[in-house]
Structure 1
Amino acid sequence: MFSPQRVERISQEGLVFAALPGQPLPWEAGHELSRWKLRPNQTWRHVVYLGIYRLDELFEVLSQLFGPGPESYDERPAGESAVAAFAVDEHGHVLRESLVLSSCALATGELLRNKRVRTDWPSGLGAATDDLDESLQKLLPAVTVESEDGEPRLVSGVVDHRLLSEYQKEAVQAAGVDAALSFTGIRIRSQIVVRRDEDKPDANECRHGCNRVPASAGDHDFLNSFIMQDLGRVAEKIAKGVVGVALNDYLRPEADLATAGRVDVRDRIDAVLAATAPQAVPAGRWPGHPEHTLALNQQLAVSTALGMTAGILGVNGPPGTGKTTMLRDLVAALVVERARRLAALTDPAQAFTGRQLRWKTGQRTRVVDVWRPDLTGFEMVLASTNNGAVQNVTDEIPAADAIDDSWRERAEVVDYFPDIATALLAGQPDAAQPQVVKRGWALVAARLGNKANRSRFVNTFWYHSPAANRKQSNEGHTWSGLLAVLKGYEQTGPEVPWSTAVSRFRATEARVEAIRAERTRVYQDVERSAHPELALADLRHALKVAADAVESARLRHGAALDAERERAAEAGRIASALQAEAERDARRRAAAADQTLATAERQVEHLSAGRKANAERALWSCEAELSRWLTAHATHQRSQPGPWEWLRTLGEARRHWSYHDGQLLAGVRQAQVALDMARAERAAALVEIDVVQRAVDTARGQADEIRRMLAAGIPEPQVDHAPLTAARRRVALAEQEFSTAVQNHRAAEDAIRAAEADLSALQARLRQAAGTLGRHFPDPEWHADRQRRESAALWTDGEWNEARSELFLAALALHKAFLRHNATRLRRNLQAAMDLVGGDASANPAPEAALAAWQSLFFVVPVVSTTFASYDRVFGHLGKEALGWLLVDEAGQATPQNAVGALWRTKRAVVVGDPLQLEPITTLPLRTEQAIRTEQGVDEQWLTSRTSVQRFADRLTPLGTWLAGDGDSDPTWVGVPLTVHRRCDQPMFDIVNRVAYGGLMIDGTGTGAGERFQLAYPTLPPSKWIDVAGTGARGHWIPDQGRQLDRILATLAELDFDMCEVMVIGPFRDVARELDRRARRYPGLVAGTVHTAQGKQADVVVLVLGGAPDRVGARRWASSRPNLLNVAVSRAKRRLYVIGDRQAWSPLRYFQILAAELPHQEPVQRQPPAPGRRGTGPGANSRPAAW
């Protein structure tokens, strides 16, 4: 809201006029523009600015609203803006939808009324603009006129002075600032534009560098922040979760940052060594001198960036540390990587998916072939907040002096459209007078950005043909734009088969990779030899440990044997005791056995004489008794009565006989039983005798055995003695340990012999590598000497650098061959891209189609540049993470919100800048910003006046270092620091290094340039402080200091010094205005505030301090931070002359260092010569300077 565009100053050369009463307006008869002769397809368009006001006055109003802050002094923005603006055509008719109401003026009015800003500011601004537009239409009703084709059309009435006055009154009242600001009138900016002819063939469109008339003038916002609408769109996307990695990281709160993972590259040399290993070095390199390698941290930044898949890398780039050099190598690396992927195609047509997308542009249909995803993501957009920064870098990349002379012939062979590159480096291709411009070597970068740049790019890059400029054709400039080139390719076809083009690239690539393999082997050797003494010491320690282990094992084995012997003796004693006891027991048992035998024998005798004999007698008796009974019974049987006796006795005889027979049978039975019992007794007696006899035999056997054993002697018993068993186990274990220890000792001896041999071979290889690589080899001195270490990247010696640069040129050649093989597709795609670049595409082409068109342009031109202000107008058709790379330059000057839209559309961002150079200047006073922040519930970390794009990126970058605070502030973490300074001679280098960087930078400038300068201008005094207090100050301008400056400038003029190499700057705008007058007197002289000097450099810098004697606060502001003095001093390459009141300035912070480092003197009073005077010949350089 509070970032209004500035309105240009009144300038007849710039076609900016004041609308003064009584004087004709630019579209009225009698105005000087009416005498201009325009081409048939050209016309005028005028932008009318209503309510011109000064931005510093607005700052003061806002400051007073919430109380002035002490830091607000002289940070007030310069320039003017307006409350409202609209466009009119050549006849004075208001162009439809062209009204713009200043969001800054509207928000200021709301703050004045309510001390708050509404949260729905986009819709609020739109509603207020619509209301104002309605009011203005009532003042100037529409009328019907006849158009050029004879058809009636409705237009506004013609604007005159009266209406302009009414319009301004309405606009000021609508904004609500009519009572707060002073308005200096109405201003009109006139511009020549080209009428768009929809039916005109593409090849004839706008070849003369003018802007086309847009379909709606409302497409351009004349007053408000260029990024405001895009911020609103991106905010809506984020609310829906449509956000990529880079922007998501960018918006991460401080509390969520992974600060524990930060690696300070000044302390962690091992991390830097690993991150810049040969495998991390890109295959492509810029075609610089092979011996002019990147500094270590430049290489670290390039390798780290290329290792990102997404996200943001912050690079801290103090002045003169080679930011552009680093970016050029990044460009070369990405072009080569894309060429590698091209080389993987067997058919160049495989680069496209086969899908075609279309959109309508007027009566024409654009057809776009969609690229394979793996060939995209290489798009590089260079962006910054100011045109100067992006133009400087973008112009340096394709300029012929950007490559070393040794590559010119090879670059001419590649012939990557150098004529188009040269034409794009020119200021105005169709200028009436010839211009001296830089030659281009290849079409690798181009400026886009604002409408004029884009139109010039389209006309030059695409549509140019020799016939369009006969003057150039007559001078031999017969080159054609790429449209004609591609049509020629379509007719002639490829020069060589695709396989041949690929083979040429592969051959060059093979050399690069072969050298990489060699460097990788050296790197691996370096890793192995990082601590050779420690490695051998470890092995020797292992040998000692092994020897100690052998000795310990031997001692343990001896002790185990001793213990075993003791336990064996114990076992012997126990066995002897057991033997004696066994003998005694045997004798006892022998005696017992004899006794048992005697007892058993007596039992046998007793049994034989007793029980056996009795049993036998009883048996005999029973047998006899049984015999008698049997005999008696037999006899009785014979006396059995016959039948007659039975009859005679009537059975009595039979009964008597039977009775007596029964008695006899009973006697037989009894005798038989007794006999059986006698037999059993005799058997039992025999059994008993047998048992006892066996016992006798057993006892006799035992007794005999014992007697034999006693006779033979009792052996010692085998004793199962547990201590002896354990001792024997310990002996076995000790023997095994001893054997193992001996083997380990032998292995340790072998390892030391092998390690010593390996180390000897390794050291030989490293000595050879050190001799080959020189300063690119990490020897012990490299580790110990920071200046040596950081001055040159490792591994990238002249041989590899040459091969890598050759590969970059081969990659360009392969890209060009690809164009020949796909001329028709690329012509169609690039034609669509030209519509997008020139603003001629339909309002909303499909993002995918627009992206494919843009990818085609980036294929041909790898880098394009734009300011953040123009980013949305260039790439507004694209969506989330559509582009591969965002390269931000001078990021320390950009407010964080400037980069949001670009980051949303980008996968990877390399953000280069320095928080210790100039910081962003905002229109909003700090206390006003604080009040709005509090009202909106925003955390203080997001205050735009306290931070920058660079600080946002640095805090996200894990590789970096800490910059020491200045006593009042904490140390600052910065991303990968570029430390080797190659711009300023002494004492400027030491001043800057002490004032801002705490010794971080390394002096890599060398003495050659300074010595050549001294030889060329021997009379110029060394850098110094010329002490001029002066009187009669006019604001911050001290006339006496101006007179001293005039003496210096006059002396330089006498010496024929190139005024383009002289810069005069001051901290205050009062001083800058006076310096600007000198610039008009000395063509080429760069003059202005210190803020205007960033990004520039000169051999001689004169810092005019000024400073009203009674305004101490102004000097305190200038010395409150190191940034201003850092920028001022670091602009000076060979000489720095400070003009100022030394007594007033030298006690101030940072200026104390300046005063200590610079010798000082009183000014020499001498009238300067006339400004136009020039010295000639050697004498001019021999006279002493007059100051």
Structure 2
Amino acid sequence: MTQQHNILKYWRDIEVFNLPGFNKDAVLLDLNQILPWMLDQTRAKDNYKWRYTLYFGKIGNSSIISYLNTLLKSEQIQDWQEPVTGFSCLSALILNENGSIEQDSYILASYILGINALKSGKDLSTISEELEKVKQDFIERHNILDNSSDSHQKGDKPFCLTQIQNEIAYLSWLAPWLNSDIKVFVLKEQVYKDSEAVISFLNSFFLDDLNYLTSIKTSEFSPSLKQYLTLKPSIDKRRDLIKDKWHLFKALNPCYLTMGRWPSKIEYGLYSAQSAAVNTIFKDLKDSEGIQGVNGPPGTGKTTLLLDVIAEVVVKRALVISDLGCDHIFDQGHNVIPKENGFDLYTYPLNPKLQRDFGIVVASNNNAAVENITKELPCKSKIDNETFSKASYFSNYSQRLINQPSWGVLAAALGNSENRTLFKQAFWESNEKENHFGFEALLYSVYKKSDNTNLYAREFEKQNQKFKSLISEFTQFQSLSSEFHDLLPKCIENQNQKDKHLSAIALIDTKIKDCADREKELLNQKQELENDFSKIESTLGVLSLRKPSFFFFHKLFKTSNFTSWDAKASEILQEFNKINKQISDLKNQIDNCLNSIKDYQLEKKALGLKIEKLDEFFIYYNNIKRELNHKYGIDTNDICDLNFLDKSIKQIHLLNPYHSKKIARLRSEIFLTALKLHENAILVNAKKIRNNLNAYFQLIQNTIKTDDKIYQNLWDTFFLCVPVVSTTLASVGRLFSSYSKQQIGWLLLDEAGQATAQSVVGVIQRSKRCVVVGDPLQVEPVVTMPVELVKRLRQEYRVDIDWSYSKTSVQQLADRISRYGTYMDVSGTDKKIWTGFPLRTHRRCDDPMFRIANDIAYNGQMVKATNLTPETQSLAVSQWYNVSDQVILQDRHVVIDEIRLLKEKIFQLRSSGFNKQIYVTSPFKSIARYCHNEFLYDKKIECGTIHRFQGKEADVVFLVLGGDPRSQGARNWVSQKPNMLNVALTRAKKRFYVVGNKSLWSNCDYFNVMAKELK
């Protein structure tokens, strides 16, 4: 068994102790009265039926945690700590409208067996088998038979009082450590007639996936899961995009630019890091498997980035459809899904080229994040409706999916049974009473008339020609811009060469000048000597005339006259010869200077020719740049030229590389035309699509079972029609019932900093490519489990702290294996952590919120891209409202004086005419609840803990600190990391007001920085 298996087993054992949430709408069942399902029932509304969910026991989570702490001999929760709130139950089951037990609906809470195992010292690895045995025991206890024809009558008996009492007795025996009576609660509700009876919510949503993965070999893990579970990341392969601008430059190469763009406002492009991240995602993942981590602080455009990823995946599939033609998106033949009741289902296999690669799933642990992207995709306000007024993708069938004007069926929220039912009703089914005709009716109407099919086939060809023309136009731009981008290394080399040549020429000019100066100096010296020479010649001539008469005899007898003349003549002659030699030497030196000047001039000319050759390159280079500017409208500052590397990293992050209105329009048109290509291909194949989708909706509602091949085909048919499916991580195992690996083409994990490490292993196993987006400096995953239990289980499997349930998020594990990223300081230590692809351009918060968050959490790496608006300037400046006198505490952390001041300030704000949304947040649940009750009268005032507001934003945010002034522990807990304060600050776009005791909180880490900024 490998270390990866040990990690998975550790996570599985952690999940055994998941505490199921208790449904607050369930009411106490009075066992002295007639059971509600045995009374005459009012009729359920059309297409709905009654359902009863029974919950056995209502146990406070805090009491379970307290018992575990006692059992493990670990410390109990301190007074200052936030208590574990909420309730759990012991078991649950579902009854149909007749009161009989729904088959396979009973489930026991796994934590009961986990506690029993801890008490007896047993291994936790068999819990799943024990849960299954408990279910079988339940079936035997209550004599429940299969829903087959020969046992139908017996299985329809209503669940009676005796059975309830027997179940209570069984649970009392199973959990003798309970200190309270077991009461029964019932939830009566109307549900859609075809909805399945799901009760898996009682236990961990991830337990089945973890059990499966621990049972298979690592060779059967998907490549992405293997990467996720990498024990030792390749540190030497990391590329720091903040420290080394060259790596960022390479990632911005337009050869990686996506053809498709989300049709948002064409004035706005992606900032450098966003653009580089999208480029890198498709460069590294388009033809392979793997994980790419993207690290995005608040307001840095994570969702915007994901929209462009979605657009490009749709375009990639459209390219395949374009090549295949509308008549070949399905293979020959058909498959049959037999049904026990009703007609068999006939389905048709998609062309293999359209399978597994293009399905997009957006998943998150955060419900708000999932809802946001599902609502944004089809919403008209999220596209440039003025520029793309004709944007439409089955828009007649998307309007019922959201409560705003819609332009297309881009996404489906299918995360739970209710969502699946709602989507099927709104999109697929017709309702004649409401004059609503669903997508199923459209498909039927199309293939019933062959003329329709021919009409859509012709339209397909028309759109295909347009699509190819747009792609060709983009390819021309991409070829030109990438050529320009690729020339930068040569440009730098040539510029260095030119600079070198120019320096050499400057040196040569200096040498030529030196030679010329030397020549001039030598000529002057020569002239002086020649003048002296002439004088000596004259002297020699005069001396010759003065030779003694009868010179021969004077010389022969060396007379005194001769001796005197000869001495004088020899002296003058010696000087004559000396000067003559000096003149000759000077002539040689002058010739050397002239020769050197000639050589230098030849060398200069050669260098000049080289510079001319280099200048030809620069002319070519600048001509391309000019063409990118003039032809495509790209601002010269957004063209990554020779000046790019000279810019500061902050200046680079504010660029929109290779963006212009023209290019944005072109890429958006490619995406919108790709959708039209999909639309017409679907209508041409209406019958096959209708059959497949009919089977698909039965598949996801669990009314049919099929093999993995047909399962995959049905899902890919749905993805062909609806590009994106969103779900919470908790619902993945239910929605994607097959364990088949790499069945999802693209997994986009949002808000991954909030997700526990084990919550994604199942969906990663099912996915080919994973883009993990989040911020480890946001609110971390909520951990309620006793620290001692987490530690004990980790040590049992010898798992490193990096994989700890209480220490690690999905984002951190994805970041550590990402090749592209940067290092950031770990608060309170001298250590640094590696984060994924760094988005750093912040567009949400004004100062001082931006400045404080950037200081306490991001090492000053973020770059601000927002400006104050006139509307904002009318609001009171962000400030700290100090509350220090007459402290009155209520409900632990609540300070009444702070609440009074909060109400006063909000009243002033409303009186000034500010009528927009206001968030009131606090680190403590008790304060959040108190504030919620105080402001029920104003629906635009939303109150909650900091955790609740993750992923949200408002113009104005109040942070109410509270806390007992006598207890420093609570303040230390809030300020142990920058995460909480960082999230609170970055919810506020315009103003941030703090209410609390400034003298106490300003002594805490990170809050001391805020105290200096806020007066």
TM-score range, shorter chain: 0.7 to 0.9
1:407 and 1:77 map into 2 onto residues whose CA distance is 51
Q: How do 1:1115-1154 and structure 2 match up within 5 A?
A: 1115-1154=971-1010
- Structure 1 residue 305 displacement after superposition: 1.1
The equivalent residue for 1:792 is: 655
- Structure 1 residue 969 displacement after superposition: 5.9
Flag the 1:754–1:341 CA change in 2: closer, same or farther, 3 A.
same
Q: 1:1074 aligns with which of 930, 933, 954?
A: 930
Residue 154 in 1 paired to residue 154 in 2?
A: yes
The equivalent residue for 2:689 is: 826
Compare CA radii of gyration and give the structure with the larger one: 1
Query: What one-letter code is carried by the residue in structure 2 that aligns with 1:330?
Result: V
Flag the 1:1143–1:117 CA change in 2: closer, same or farther, 3 A.
farther
Flag the 1:191–1:293 CA change in 2: closer, same or farther, 3 A.
same
Q: Secondary structure at the match of 2:745?
A: strand
Q: Secondary structure at the match of 2:994?
A: strand
Residue 981 in 1 paired to residue 842 in 2?
A: yes
Cα displacement string for residues 276-314 of structure 1 (whole angstroms, at most 9, x for unaligned residues): 211100011011122200111111111111121210000
- Structure 1 residue 506 displacement after superposition: 1.1
- Structure 1 residue 327 displacement after superposition: 0.5
Flag the 1:387–1:839 CA change in 2: closer, same or farther, 3 A.
farther
Residue 285 in 1 paired to residue 271 in 2?
A: no
Does structure 2 conserve the Cα–Cα contact (< 8 Å) formed by 1:311 and 1:907? yes
Q: How do 1:629-644 and structure 2 match up within 5 A?
A: none
The equivalent residue for 2:375 is: 395
Q: Secondary structure at the match of 2:855?
A: helix
Does structure 1 conserve the Cα–Cα contact (< 8 Å) formed by 2:975 and 2:1006? yes
Residue 236 in 1 paired to residue 215 in 2?
A: yes
Q: Secondary structure at the match of 1:530?
A: helix
Q: How do 1:710-725 and structure 2 match up within 5 A?
A: none
Q: 1:52 aligns with which of 58, 67, 78?
A: 58
The equivalent residue for 1:704 is: none
Q: Can you give the 5+ residue segments of structure 2 that lack an aligned partner in the other structure?
A: 1-14, 511-598
Flag the 1:1054–1:113 CA change in 2: closer, same or farther, 3 A.
farther
Flag the 1:741–1:386 CA change in 2: closer, same or farther, 3 A.
same
Does structure 1 conserve the Cα–Cα contact (< 8 Å) formed by 2:269 and 2:659? yes
Query: What one-letter code is carried by the residue in structure 2 that aligns with 1:284?
Result: G
Q: Secondary structure at the match of 2:37?
A: coil
Alignment RMSD (CA, Å) = 3.1
1:1084 and 1:183 map into 2 onto residues whose CA distance is 42
Q: How do 1:618-1017 and structure 2 match up within 5 A?
A: 749-763=608-622, 765-766=624-625, 769=628, 772-774=633-635, 775-779=637-641, 780=643, 783-842=646-705, 845-877=706-738, 879-968=740-829, 970-1008=831-869, 1011-1014=870-873
- Structure 1 residue 960 displacement after superposition: 0.5
Does structure 2 conserve the Cα–Cα contact (< 8 Å) formed by 1:77 and 1:922? no
Flag the 1:782–1:794 CA change in 2: closer, same or farther, 3 A.
farther
Q: Secondary structure at the match of 1:930?
A: helix
1:183 and 1:770 map into 2 onto residues whose CA distance is 78
Size of the aligned set, in residue pairs, is 900
Q: Secondary structure at the match of 1:45?
A: strand
The equivalent residue for 1:737 is: none
- Structure 1 residue 763 displacement after superposition: 4.1
Flag the 1:185–1:1035 CA change in 2: closer, same or farther, 3 A.
farther
Name the stretch that deviates more: 364-373 or 815-824: 364-373
The equivalent residue for 1:1086 is: 942
Flag the 1:74–1:395 CA change in 2: closer, same or farther, 3 A.
farther
Residue 409 in 1 paired to residue 382 in 2?
A: no
- Structure 1 residue 265 displacement after superposition: 0.4
The equivalent residue for 2:401 is: 424
1:826 and 1:903 map into 2 onto residues whose CA distance is 28
1:168 and 1:154 map into 2 onto residues whose CA distance is 23
- Structure 1 residue 113 displacement after superposition: 3.8
Name the stretch that deviates more: 326-335 or 298-307: 298-307
2:105 and 2:889 map into 1 onto residues whose CA distance is 49
The equivalent residue for 2:45 is: 39
The equivalent residue for 2:101 is: 94
Cα displacement string for residues 1084-1117 of structure 1 (whole angstroms, at most 9, x for unaligned residues): 4221111111111111111111112233211111
Query: What one-letter code is carried by the residue in structure 2 that aligns with 1:52?
Result: K
- Structure 1 residue 225 displacement after superposition: 0.7
Cα displacement string for residues 13-64 of structure 1 (whole angstroms, at most 9, x for unaligned residues): xxx21224545543243xxxx6644136543211111122122332233234
The equivalent residue for 1:350 is: 328
- Structure 1 residue 862 displacement after superposition: 0.8
Q: 2:278 aligns with which of 298, 302, 308?
A: 302
The equivalent residue for 2:429 is: 463
Q: Secondary structure at the match of 2:906?
A: helix
2:853 and 2:613 map into 1 onto residues whose CA distance is 53
1:71 and 1:372 map into 2 onto residues whose CA distance is 58
The equivalent residue for 1:82 is: 89
Does structure 2 conserve the Cα–Cα contact (< 8 Å) formed by 1:53 and 1:181? no
Flag the 1:36–1:338 CA change in 2: closer, same or farther, 3 A.
same
Cα displacement string for residues 543-570 of structure 1 (whole angstroms, at most 9, x for unaligned residues): 899999xxxxxxxxxxxxxxxxxxxxxx
Does structure 1 conserve the Cα–Cα contact (< 8 Å) formed by 2:51 and 2:97? yes
- Structure 1 residue 1154 displacement after superposition: 1.5
- Structure 1 residue 92 displacement after superposition: 3.0
Residue 329 in 1 paired to residue 316 in 2?
A: no
Does structure 1 conserve the Cα–Cα contact (< 8 Å) formed by 2:259 and 2:315? yes
- Structure 1 residue 930 displacement after superposition: 0.8
Q: Secondary structure at the match of 2:943?
A: strand
2:796 and 2:479 map into 1 onto residues whose CA distance is 61
The equivalent residue for 1:1036 is: 893
Name the stretch that deviates more: 1112-1121 or 743-752: 743-752
1:826 and 1:228 map into 2 onto residues whose CA distance is 35
2:810 and 2:281 map into 1 onto residues whose CA distance is 17
Query: What one-letter code is carried by the residue in structure 2 that aligns with 1:1045?
Result: L
The equivalent residue for 2:29 is: 19
Query: What one-letter code is carried by the residue in structure 1 that aligns with 2:702?
Result: G
Flag the 1:357–1:1148 CA change in 2: closer, same or farther, 3 A.
same
- Structure 1 residue 157 displacement after superposition: 5.7
1:818 and 1:542 map into 2 onto residues whose CA distance is 66
Q: Secondary structure at the match of 2:164?
A: helix
Flag the 1:531–1:144 CA change in 2: closer, same or farther, 3 A.
closer
Does structure 1 conserve the Cα–Cα contact (< 8 Å) formed by 2:66 and 2:76? no
The equivalent residue for 1:603 is: none
1:234 and 1:486 map into 2 onto residues whose CA distance is 42
Cα displacement string for residues 371-429 of structure 1 (whole angstroms, at most 9, x for unaligned residues): 23333301100001132221111111111111013234221xxx31123222112xxxx
The equivalent residue for 1:7 is: 21
Q: Secondary structure at the match of 2:770?
A: strand
Q: Secondary structure at the match of 2:57?
A: strand
- Structure 1 residue 274 displacement after superposition: 1.3
Q: Secondary structure at the match of 2:220?
A: coil
- Structure 1 residue 817 displacement after superposition: 1.5
Query: What one-letter code is carried by the residue in structure 2 that aligns with 1:841?
Result: I
Query: What one-letter code is carried by the residue in structure 1 that aligns with 2:336?
Result: R
- Structure 1 residue 750 displacement after superposition: 2.9
Residue 260 in 1 paired to residue 236 in 2?
A: yes
- Structure 1 residue 1055 displacement after superposition: 4.8
1:263 and 1:70 map into 2 onto residues whose CA distance is 45
Q: 1:191 aligns with which of 171, 189, 194?
A: 189
Does structure 2 conserve the Cα–Cα contact (< 8 Å) formed by 1:917 and 1:1126? yes
Query: What one-letter code is carried by the residue in structure 1 that aligns with 2:258?
Result: P
Query: What one-letter code is carried by the residue in structure 2 that aligns with 1:233?
Result: Y
Query: What one-letter code is carried by the residue in structure 2 that aligns with 1:943?
Result: S
Q: Secondary structure at the match of 1:1065?
A: strand
Query: What one-letter code is carried by the residue in structure 1 that aligns with 2:365?
Result: T
The equivalent residue for 1:577 is: none
Q: How do 1:445-464 and structure 2 match up within 5 A?
A: 445-464=411-430
The equivalent residue for 1:112 is: 119
Residue 375 in 1 paired to residue 360 in 2?
A: no
Does structure 1 conserve the Cα–Cα contact (< 8 Å) formed by 2:20 and 2:109? no
Does structure 2 conserve the Cα–Cα contact (< 8 Å) formed by 1:368 and 1:829? yes
